[in-house]
Chains A and B, each alone.
Chain A
């Protein structure tokens, strides 16, 4: 066997043997490669024009490589990912919700790309929380894709009729809400601030704003922090708001809040940027509300500041078993790079993965993008997905709002449970 062929065979063997440690493979790309690159994107994440654009640019550089972009559904997606990673030929690239990454990284499903970080455009200015979601044990396992954050959507017409302005502090939020309740509260369906009981992602900002947290890590041990005094302060402030301003189901979640808002009896909701589109969509909501909507960031209890928000979003990872590491990285660099991330903002209406492009947002989305600058992420542990699956925080909130448990009792029970699951 000639030396070049031997080298290739050895390289191929190394690629085949790559395991949880994330063995590195030679990463030269010359434009003469052949093969198929399989990409799994989630339904609804990227407009088709962007995907087509990425593929076109990629094809220009690698004309003999076929790229198959397959759209996957959200329903039972973790089962699909589990089986795909367990099988012999997982897709080369897949989009993962940012709270799922740690779980798959810890299990050895994703390729460690720490050494390649600098080769990704804008990696220096990636949104911190998304980067955090991609980092496990100080190694980088994915590229941030896009983000979503929450702010308060409100009815400008109801506000002006009641003579109030968007609040700039939590206390003001309460007074604004109470004025609204005084004016419209006789309608049994009216809520000044519609807050379903299980809406954990909207409750987190209150906990974080007062300096509290969900859990903290020292060394490898996690300790629950939801029961410390600052967290409890935040929850107390929230409970006060909910009991006085909300008529939403205390045991329900936020799945139908946009439809509820579209019915016209709600003044404020805490929501994601894309929910504006749902509220005004003719197929799902009320298009006449289009000119009556405004947004403001969740105010901090310190006047003039905004509360930290949870940054939702997705990342893009490369399978450890992938045979096309270099090609996959190039494809990722395109989708995560300036050209197409700008389009994600302007066409897709999401928050891009880099702070340098955040200013491209305009109109209402810009307010959500600005709120994203002050963002936090959930405890970055592979067991965090299990805390979410066990409904710990949702059940805690429900017991607080329905009055079944006091805040100290509910939070200390939740804190213990979180620590147990994270440390398991």
Chain B
């Protein structure tokens, strides 16, 4: 959008039909559609029916009996009403939003730092560090959370042992989950730890696209590293940042495994994040209509929360080329 140094907009925008070197492509009007067609067919073909059914189910009373007999009972918006009048819903929503903001913020902070670091280390360390990040990213979720649970365990935990032996106090038999604030802090550590690899590698990939000449020119002009970062890097990286922040928000809002596994599949109500609450109130008791309504509510909330980011992404899409 005309930010100085934005490589893409140094070229004057061209009229649509003559876009770049493709103007002589036969059937140029069909080409873009042909390119998106395979992906579109797969996505709609596979997800079309389930998504439609999800919407339909959200208006049905659909328990186990209805599922087996393929016959539901239409209840209109009653499922949604159930959530609206549930006093716990407000608590769940608030906690989930705060949790998401904290997690996204911390994840982005650390991931950006590590991405910048990856640019500046020697090649051997870069490969080592990226491989290490991939290893963390690739470790199956449940065993990884089990490991964290052990580390914070009441009696077997390394953390309790270390804190006591390093003199931070008596942490023998300290229960990290009795107090929800402490418990959520532990959960945040785990979520951020798991989120960093993907975010860092994505941002780093984006960083490799920053033209080196621009950076060097700015440095010759006397710019300090944080100025280079703020004035050159961030604007170029804006599309990438928008994407990863939106994704982070979507994923962190839907955190489930960490809570579920850490609390041995029986979390107390203080720990009900949106996905845990939805699962516990619906799918766990085989109420699929209610569960579908919960999913629809979650989507609606996410649309609202990520609206600003998504709108910018769409605008960027429209401005390009």
Question: Within 8 Å by CB, do A and B touch in the complex?
Answer: yes
**In the complex, A249→B263 CA distance in Å?**
13
Residue contact B64 to A109, C-beta cutoff 8 Å: yes
Chain B residues near A402 (CB-CB < 8 A): 178
- The answer to whether A389 touches B156, judged by C-beta atoms less than 8 angstroms apart, is no
CA distance A107 to B65 in the complex (A): 4
Interface residues on B, range: 20 to 34
Count contacts on A: residues with CB < 8 A to the other chain.
34
Asked whether, in the complex, the Cβ of B280 is within 8 Å of the Cβ of A389, the reply is: yes
CA distance A75 to B178 in the complex (A): 26
User: Once the chains bind, are B264 and A19 in contact (CB under 8 Å)?
Assistant: no
A85 and B173 within 8 A (CB): no
Partner of B64, one of A107, A247, A251, A390: A107
- Residues 50-76 of chain B, each 1 if its beta carbon lies under 8 Å from chain A, else 0: 000000000000011101111000000
Do A251 and B178 have beta carbons less than 8 Å apart?
yes
Distance (whole angstroms) from the CB of A341 to the closest CB of chain B: 30
CB-CB under 8 A from A253, the residues of chain B are: 264, 266
Does A237 reach chain B (CB closer than 8 Å)? no
Contact of A107 among B68, B154, B285 (CB under 8 A): B68
Nearest residue in A to B178 (C-beta to C-beta)?
Answer: A251
Across the interface, name the chain B residue whose C-beta is closest to A382. B64
Across the interface, name the chain A residue whose C-beta is closest to B177.
A251
Q: Can you list, as one digit per residue, whether each of A15-26 has a CB less than 8 Å from chain B (1) or not (0)?
A: 000011000000
A19 and B173 contact, CB distance less than 8 A: no
List, in ascending order, chain B residues with CB within 8 A of A189's CB.
155
B175 at the interface (CB under 8 A from A): yes
**Does the CB pair B68–A249 fall under 8 Å?**
no
Residues from chain B with Cβ under 8 Å of A103 in the complex: 64, 286
- Would B264 and A255 count as touching, CB distance under 8 A? yes
Asked if B68 and A389 sit within 8 Å, CB to CB, the answer is no
Decide yes or no whether A326 CB sits under 8 A from chain B: no
Interface string of A232-261 (1 = CB under 8 A from B): 000000000000000101011101100110
Tell me if B208 counts as interface (CB < 8 A to partner A).
Answer: no
Is the Cβ of A249 less than 8 Å from the Cβ of B67? no
> Which residues from B are CB-within-8-Å of A108?
65, 68-69
Instruction: Check if B268 is an interface residue, CB within 8 A of chain A.
Output: yes
Task: State the CA gap A91–B175 with chains docked (Å).
Answer: 44
B175:A20 contact, CB within 8 angstroms: no
Q: Quick one: which of A98-132 are within 8 Å of B by CB? A: 103-104, 106-109
B68, A85: Cβ atoms under 8 Å?
yes
Q: Are B173 and A247 in contact, CB atoms less than 8 angstroms apart?
A: yes
**8 Å CB contact of A260 from B63, B155, B178:** B155
Q: Does A406 sit at the interface, judged by CB under 8 A?
A: no
Taking a contact as CB atoms under 8 Å apart, the answer to whether A391 and B63 are in contact is no
Tell me the bound Cα distance from A102 to B37 in angstroms. Answer: 48
Whether the pair A82, B284 counts as a contact (CB closer than 8 A) is no
Shortest C-beta distance, A232 to chain B (Å), equals: 23
Evaluate whether A20 and B65 lie within 8 angstroms (CB atoms) in the complex, with A253-B266, A260-B155, A391-B266 already known. Answer: yes
Residue of B nearest to A395 (CB): B268
Q: Does B97 touch A at the CB level, under 8 Å? A: no
Q: Is A284 an interface residue (CB 8 A)?
A: no
Supposing A249-B154, A251-B175 touch, asked if A86 and B65 sit within 8 A by C-beta, the answer is no
- Closest Cβ of chain A to B165, distance in Å, is 14
- B178 — which chain A residues lie within 8 A by C-beta? 251, 402
> At the interface, is chain B mostly helix, strand, loop or mixed?
loop
Evaluate contact between B69 and A82: CB separation under 8 angstroms: no
Q: Is the CB of A188 within 8 A of B264?
A: no
- Closest B residue to A189 using CB positions: B155
Task: Known contacts A189-B155, A386-B285; decide if A249 and B175 are in contact (CB<8 Å).
Answer: yes
What is the distance, in angstroms, from A14's C-beta to the closest C-beta of chain B? 17
CB distance from B62 to the nearest CB of A (A): 10
Q: Say whether A150 faces chain B, with CB atoms less than 8 Å apart.
A: no
Kindly state whether residue B172 has any CB partner on chain A within 8 Å: yes
**Which residue, B68, B69, B266, B283, has most C-beta atoms of chain A within 10 A?**
B68
Q: Which residues of A contact B63 (CB under 8 A)?
A: 107
Q: Is A394 on the interface with B (CB-CB < 8 A)? A: yes
Q: With A and B bound together, what is the CA distance between A285 and B59 in angstroms?
A: 51
* A252 in complex: contacting residue of B68, B264, B283, B286, CB < 8 Å: B264
Asked if B266 and A394 sit within 8 Å, CB to CB, the answer is yes
With A107-B63, A198-B266, A252-B264 as known contacts, state yes or no: A188 contacts B69, CB within 8 Å: no
Contact for B65 among A106, A247, A260, A386, CB less than 8 A: A106
A-chain residues with CB within 8 Å of residue B156 when the two chains form the complex: 256, 259-260
- A104 CB contact (under 8 Å) in B64, B153, B155, B172: B64
Contacts of A256 in B (CB 8 A): 153, 156
Bound complex: CA A188 to CA B160 (Å): 14
Bound-complex Cα distance A190 to B6 (A): 66
Q: Which A residues are CB-close (under 8 A) to B173?
A: 188, 247, 249
Residue ID in chain B nearest A75 by CB atoms: B142
Q: CB-CB < 8 A to B64: which residues of A?
A: 82, 85, 103-104, 106-107, 109
For chain B residues 246-275, which have a beta carbon within 8 Å of chain A? 264, 266, 268
Considering residues A249, A259, A385, which has the most beta carbons from chain B within 10 angstroms of its beta carbon? A249
Q: A19-B69, A20-B69, A108-B65 are in contact. Are A82 and B154 (CB under 8 A)?
A: no
* Residues 378 to 397 of chain A near chain B (Cβ within 8 Å): 385-386, 389-391, 394-395
Extra A-B contacts (11), CB below 8 Å, given A20-B65, A385-B286, A386-B285:
A85-B68, A188-B173, A198-B264, A249-B154, A249-B175, A251-B177, A252-B264, A253-B264, A256-B156, A390-B285, A398-B268
28 A-B pairs with CB atoms under 8 Å apart are A20-B69, A78-B286, A82-B64, A82-B286, A85-B64, A86-B68, A103-B64, A106-B65, A107-B64, A107-B67, A109-B64, A188-B172, A188-B173, A189-B155, A198-B266, A249-B173, A251-B177, A252-B154, A252-B175, A256-B153, A256-B156, A259-B156, A385-B285, A386-B284, A390-B285, A391-B268, A395-B268, A402-B178
Interface residues of B (CB under 8 A from A): 63-65, 67-70, 153-156, 172-173, 175, 177-178, 264, 266, 268, 280, 283-286
